[in-house]
Amino acid sequence: MKVFWLFNHPAPYKVDMFNCLGEKVDLFVLFERSKEKCRNNVFYGEEKRFHYAICKGLKWGLMNSLSATPIKYIKKEKYDCIVINGWRTLTEMKTLRYLKKHDIPYIFAINGGIIKKKENIFIRKIKTKYIGGALSYLCPDDNSKEYLIHYGAKKENIHFFHYSSIFEKDIIKKPREEIEKIELRKKLANSNEKLFVSSGQLIKRKNFIELIKVWKNLPQAYKLLICGEGKLKKKIEKLTKKEKLENIKLLPYQKKKDLLYLFSISDGFIFLSKEDIYGHVINEALSQGLPVISSNKVNASLNLIKDGYNGYIVKLNEENDIIKKIKNETLLTMGNNCIETSKQNTIEQSAVDTLKAIEEFINKK
C-alpha cells in the first residue's frame, strides 16, 4: 500500500505518527518546509523512519510556501492513497487544484478547525472551494467535523483520528503522591505552595496576559509556572515585575520529557487560550495525571475534558469562576481520571485510526 502525504513541516508529534504508520504502509511524506518559522529549534529533531523529502520552491512567513514539487511526485509515482493535510498555503492550493482538475481522489486531513462567527463571504467561498471535493476526510474532534461540513464536506465521508503527541509509554501508571510531589518540586516552589503550570507560545492568541491578571487575584501561595517563548515574553516579564507577582515564574521552552516531568509534580494545568484548533498540551498534561482548567475556546479541551472528572472548562470573561476552579480541592482527586483519558488518546491509536481511514478510502475508490 503506497501512500503520499503532503504536510507543512516535520512537527515531532506528526513525525512520531508517521513513524508508526510507516510500519504498516509504504509511506512517503513531502514536507513543504523544514521548519515553521515561529518554532524553537529544540522543537524539531525526531528521527524519521519513513521516506520523505522537502519541497523546493518559495517559502515565506510563518508557514507559507509555493512549490510544484507535490505535483511532480504525484505525476511521477502511482500512489494507492494521496493525503493533503490542509489548504492554506499556496502549495496546498496548487496541489488541490491539480487533483480536482484531473479527477484524482484524495483524503483531505486537518489538525483541527473552528468556524468563524463572522466571516467574509469571499473567504468562505475560498475555503469551500478547497475543502470540499475530497473522497474522504480526516479530523480529530467534533468541532473540527462541523468545520469540515460547514465548508463542503459530506458528513458520511469524515473519519476521526485520535490526535496525540503522547506514546503509551509516556503515560504515567499512577499520579504521584502529594508528599513525593512536594519533595520533587522544592527547587520550584515552597512546600506550602500550590503549583500550577501553563505552557505555549507567548503570543496574543494564547492569552497569557489575561492569565496573569487572573493570577493577580490569587493568594501568594498559588505559584504559576509559564513555559514558552514568543513575542510577548518581555511584555509578560514587565507585567509580572510591575505587579510584583513573585508567585509567577517564566521558564524557557521545555523539551517534551522535561515538560512531562513538570506536569507530573504539579497540582493543575491552566490554559486560557482565546482560540486553538486543537492543543496537544491538554493531553500531555492529562498523561501525567494533571487535571486541566481550560477555556472553552480550545478544541482539545472540549474533546477530552469532562467537567469535574479530569478538569474544568471555563469561560474567559468569568474571572471569579476561573479562580473558584483553581482553588477547588477536588482537582487533587482527578489524577487517575486524567490518566485514563490519556490512555485512549495516544500516537499509536492515531496511527491505527489513520490506517483504517486509508484502507476504507482505497476500498471506496
- 249, containing H or E segment: strand 248-251
CA distance 310 to 282: 11
Of 180, 209, 181, the residue nearest 196 (C-alpha): 181
User: pLDDT tens across 195-219, in order?
Assistant: 999 999 999 999 999 999 999 999 9
Average pLDDT, integer, range 334-354: 98
End-to-end Cα, the chain, rounded Å? 14
pLDDT class of 191 with cuts at 50, 70, 90: low
Asked if residue 43 has pLDDT above 90, the reply is no
In this predicted structure, the answer to whether residue 40 has a pLDDT above a threshold of 70 is no
Return the pLDDT at 42.
Answer: 67
Identify the band that residue 185 occupies on the pLDDT scale cut at 50, 70 and 90: confident
Q: How confident is the model at residue 109, as a pLDDT?
A: 98
The yes-or-no verdict on residue 249 having pLDDT over 90 is yes
Coil/strand/helix, residue 273: coil
Q: Is the pLDDT of residue 24 over 90?
A: yes
pLDDT tens, position by position, 147-171: 999 999 999 999 999 999 999 999 9
- Rg for the chain (alpha carbons), in Å? 21
Instruction: Give me the pLDDT at residue 188, please.
Output: 77
Inter-helix orientation angle 256-264/280-287, to 10°: 50
What is the rounded average pLDDT for all residues in the chain? 95
Q: Which residues of 276-286 are buried (b: 16+ CB within 10 A; e: fewer)?
A: bbbbbbbbbbb
Instruction: Give the count of beta carbons closer than 10 Å to the beta carbon of residue 92.
Output: 23
Q: What is the pLDDT of residue 62?
A: 86
Q: Is the pLDDT of residue 49 over 90?
A: yes
pLDDT for 50 equals: 97
* pLDDT above 90: residue 39: no
Give me the DSSP letters along 5-66: EEESS--HHHHHHHHHHTTTSEEEEEES-SS-TTS-GGG------SEEEE--SEEETTTEEE
pLDDT of residue 45: 75
The pTM score is 0.94
In this structure, of 40-44, 115-119, 301-305, the range with the lowest mean pLDDT score is 40-44
Domains and CATH numbers, the chain: 2-164+346-364 (3.40.50.2000), 168-343 (3.40.50.2000)
